[in-house]
Every structure is written in C-alpha cells, then in structure tokens.
C-alpha cells in the first residue's frame, strides 16, 4: 500500500480548509470499508487521508417530525439501533441497511460513505432515492443540497466539486400511511453484494408510487409510477423497469438472470405493498 499522511480534523470547517490546501490529493475517510481497499489495490493514491470522525457534528443522528438527519460519520448499525428510525416509516432504508454487508462492517461503515462511494450496487441508495433523500454538501463556497439521485453521476463518480464533502443526508418524514419496502438479490444467503436491488414506496396521502432499481445501471433507476397509484398494474411496472435497466454480465450474474430477478422483486414488492 502506498504511504500517505493521516489527519483527523476537529470540525467540518477544518476538513474543508484542509481539502482546499491539499488541492485534490486528499481523500476523505469515514469508515474506510471501501476506501482502504481502494488504496490497497491502487485504485486511488491519496497523499493525505482526512478522517471525518474527528468532527463531532458529523456524528449526529437526528430523528424528529421533519425526518432524519444522518451525519457523515454515523455508522450503519446506529440506524438499526435507533428506534425512531428502525420502527418508523423508513422501512425500505432499514431493510437495506440490515442487509448491507455484515454486523462487523456495519459497525464501521457509514450511510454517507455508501452513497458517496457511488458503487452501482450500493444497497442504501434505491431506498434513499424513493424516500426523496437529499445530501447536504459543504465546500469552499459554502453549503448546498442535492437530491441523492443527482449526487451520483456514474460508477464511482459524484457531482461533488473540488474541496466538497457530504456533511449529512436528510430524509424527509414520509406522509402518514406511507409504506416502503426493499428487496435484494445476491449469490449466497450470507452477506454479499447485490446483483440487483429494488425499493418501492407507496404514499397514499400524495398518491405517489415510486420505484428505484439498483445494481443494474451505472446510476440507480427511478420510476415514477404515480399514474397507476389507484390501480397498480404489476406487469406494466415490470415492463417499465425492464425497459430502463441495462445490467451487465459479470462474476455476480448474467444480464438475463439480473433482468429476471428484477422482475421477480418488482412482483414481490407489489404483492407486499398495501392496496389502500
Ligand atoms: C466485506 C464487505 C462487504 C460489503 N458488503 C456490502 C453490501 O452488501 N452492500 C453495500 O452496499 N456495500 C457493501 N460494502 C461496501 C461498504 O461497506 C459500504 O459502501 C460502506 O457503507 C461505505 O462506507 P464507509 O464509511 O466505510 O466509506 P469509506 O470507505 O470511508 O468511503 C467510501 C468513499 O466515499 C468517500 N467519502 C466518504 N465519506 C465522504 C463524505 N462525507 N463526503 C464525500 N466523500 C466521502 C471516500 O473518500 C471514499 O471514496 C461491503 C464492503 C466490504 C468490505
């Protein structure tokens, strides 16, 4: 592994300042479960690694009537331990997190790291997309927000500008009666990356039906199915999903198997979702 300097700044402002000074040679470390492997395999070669865990504000997890606010240093297991999250209306997200890697990995890995790593198979992303989650970003010219779907621009690519970091992810509280669900298909029963994953959200107050499919395209696919809210047409939803997904053949699955599994998961989620 190539050598690099390691620093743990004590605030978001200090991280932004060090990113600016390093001029593109620094990488951010949250849990490191993706980053360290990438450094080992020389995919990235930072001269400076900035640990986010020194900034206390990034470790804050908020859950109130307006929604969730998940800081960049919040580990995944905390989302499962916080009753307001795991027993609340964020079901698709907690289902995805509980299926993400193993308990030990989730004790280090963060939700924000899962999103900013921008892997097509990231499990948390389809639920965050249907839940309308937004990323709060800090950088040299202040703060801004982007929907999670817009933040991811390609395989391991984001729309973060030079010197920017995601400080937190905000998930607005779903309207009363909202149901959401997540399914993941993998090669083995134990922990494994998804060969395809799907999230579905049904919001009866706003008549919204949203589906997101991951691990098939470079960025997750979002389907707006509001038009069939009153009378869901499952096979039409399957056809719409299959029109949009562009899976690849790789060690995890063939194109055909991925497409077949997307269809199976869409049917299962529609069968699970309440009708009224
Ligand atoms: C054995 C194993 C199994 C796994 N299984 C799964 C799985 O089933 N499903 C799944 O989705 N993932 C899986 N992963 C991948 C990984 O654990 C997750 O993506 C994890 O959530 C990444 O979070 P992290 O905090 O470790 O990120 P890090 O490794 O610290 O960072 C990931 C990337 O994001 C950047 N980054 C981190 N924080 C920020 C920020 N705040 N702003 C901007 N950029 C930032 C880093 O510089 C790096 O490029 C697995 C990994 C391992 C090692």
Has residue 44 got a pLDDT over 90? yes
Pair 100, 156 in one domain: yes
Q: How confident is the model at residue 202 (pLDDT cuts 50, 70, 90)?
A: very high
Pair 101, 158 in one domain: yes
Number of folded domains that form the chain: 3
Q: How confident is the model at residue 203 (pLDDT cuts 50, 70, 90)?
A: very high
Mean pLDDT of 152-158: 97
Report the atom number in ligand 1 closest to the C-alpha of 123.
Answer: 11
Query: 146 - beta bridge partners?
Result: 135
Pair 199, 126 in one domain: no
The three-class DSSP label of residue 32 is coil
More confident residue, 74 or 190: 74
Asked whether 167 and 238 are in contact (CB, 8 A), the reply is no
Mean pLDDT of 137-163: 97
Domain that holds residue 268: 179-272
- Residue whose Cα lies nearest atom 17 of ligand 1: it is 33
CA of 169 to the centre of ligand 1 (A): 15
Q: pLDDT tens across 233-247, in order? A: 999 999 999 999 999
CATH of residue 268: 3.30.390.50
As a whole number of angstroms, the distance between CA 202 and CA 182 comes to 12
Q: Quick one: pLDDT at residue 30?
A: 98
Q: Quick one: pLDDT at residue 89?
A: 81
As a whole number of angstroms, the distance between CA 76 and CA 96 comes to 10
- Residue whose Cα lies nearest atom 6 of ligand 1: it is 101
Has residue 42 got a pLDDT over 90? yes
Pair 61, 154 in one domain: yes
Q: How confident is the model at residue 12 (pLDDT cuts 50, 70, 90)?
A: very high
DSSP, res 226: G
Best residue for ligand 1 mutational test, from 11, 48, 101 (most atoms within 8 Å of Cβ): 101
As a whole number of angstroms, the distance between CA 6 and CA 47 comes to 9
DSSP, res 130: H
Secondary-structure breakdown of the chain: helix, strand, coil percentages, each rounded to the nearest 5: 35, 25, 40
Pair 61, 36 in one domain: no
Of the three residues 110, 138, 172, the one that is the final residue of a domain is: 172
CA of 109 to the centre of ligand 1 (A): 6
Of the three residues 141, 172, 203, the one that is the final residue of a domain is: 172
Asked whether 196 and 216 are in contact (CB, 8 A), the reply is yes
CATH of residue 43: 3.30.43.10
CATH of residue 123: 3.30.465.10
Best residue for ligand 1 mutational test, from 114, 143, 160, 188 (most atoms within 8 Å of Cβ): 114
pTM: 0.97
Pair 103, 124 in one domain: yes
Q: Quick one: pLDDT at residue 239?
A: 98
Asked whether 137 and 143 are in contact (CB, 8 A), the reply is yes
- Residue whose Cα lies nearest atom 31 of ligand 1: it is 113
Pair 226, 194 in one domain: yes
CA of 252 to the centre of ligand 1 (A): 19
- Those residues with Cβ within 8 angstroms of residue 90's Cβ, 6 or more apart along the chain or in another chain: 68, 127, 131, 171, 174, 180
DSSP, res 69: E
Torsion of the alpha carbons at 82, 85, 87 and 89, rounded to the nearest 10: 180
Asked whether 254 and 187 are in contact (CB, 8 A), the reply is no
Q: How confident is the model at residue 82 (pLDDT cuts 50, 70, 90)?
A: confident
Q: Quick one: pLDDT at residue 219?
A: 96
CA of 75 to the centre of ligand 1 (A): 10
As a whole number of angstroms, the distance between CA 257 and CA 193 comes to 15
Pair 24, 117 in one domain: no
Would you say the C-alpha torsion 52, 58, 59, 63 has a positive or negative sign? negative
The proportion of the chain whose per-residue pLDDT surpasses 90, expressed as a percent, equals 91
The three-class DSSP label of residue 67 is strand
Report the atom number in ligand 1 closest to the C-alpha of 193.
Answer: 8
Q: Quick one: pLDDT at residue 92?
A: 95
Pair 148, 195 in one domain: no
More confident residue, 83 or 204: 204
Pair 64, 45 in one domain: no
As a whole number of angstroms, the distance between CA 231 and CA 104 comes to 43
The proportion of the chain whose per-residue pLDDT surpasses 70, expressed as a percent, equals 100
Has residue 1 got a pLDDT over 80? no
Q: What is the mean pLDDT of the chain?
A: 95
Whether 30 lines ligand 1, by a CB cut-off of 6 Å, is yes
Chain position carrying tokens 């504000």: 57
Q: Quick one: pLDDT at residue 189?
A: 84
- Residue whose Cα lies nearest atom 28 of ligand 1: it is 32
Pair 99, 190 in one domain: no
Pair 31, 102 in one domain: no
Mean pLDDT of 196-214: 97
Q: How confident is the model at residue 25 (pLDDT cuts 50, 70, 90)?
A: very high
């Amino acid at each position: 592994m190539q050598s690099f300097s390691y620093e743990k700044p004590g605030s978001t402002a200090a991280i932004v300042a060090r990113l600016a000074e390093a001029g593109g040679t620094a990488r951010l470390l949250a849990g490191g479960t993706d980053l360290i492997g990438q450094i080992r395999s020389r995919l990235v070669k930072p001269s400076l690694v900035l640990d986010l865990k020194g900034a206390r504000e990034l470790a804050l997890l908020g859950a109130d009537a307006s929604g969730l606010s998940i800081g960049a240093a919040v580990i995944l297991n905390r989302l499962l331990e916080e009753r307001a999250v795991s027993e609340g209306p964020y079901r698709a997200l907690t289902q995805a997190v509980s299926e993400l890697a193993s308990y030990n990995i989730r004790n280090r890995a963060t939700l924000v790291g899962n999103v900013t790593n921008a892997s097509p198979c990231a499990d948390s992303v389809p639920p965050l997309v249907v839940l309308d989650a937004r990323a709060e970003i800090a950088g040299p010219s202040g703060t801004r927000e982007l929907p999670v779907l817009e933040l991811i621009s390609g395989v391991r690519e984001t729309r973060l500008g030079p010197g920017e970091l995601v400080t937190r992810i905000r998930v607005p509280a779903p309207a009363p009666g909202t149901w959401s669900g997540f399914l993941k298909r993998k090669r083995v029963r134990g922990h494994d990356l998804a060969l395809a994953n799907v999230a579905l959200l049904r919001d009866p107050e706003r008549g919204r039906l949203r589906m997101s499919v991951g691990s098939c395209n470079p960025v997750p696919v979002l389907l707006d199915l509001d038009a069939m809210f009153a009378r869901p047409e499952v096979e039409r939803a399957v056809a719409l999903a299959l029109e949009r997904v562009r899976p690849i053949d790789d060690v995890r699955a063939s194109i055909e198997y991925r497409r077949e599994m997307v269809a199976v998961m869409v049917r299962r989620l529609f069968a699970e979702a309440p009708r009224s």
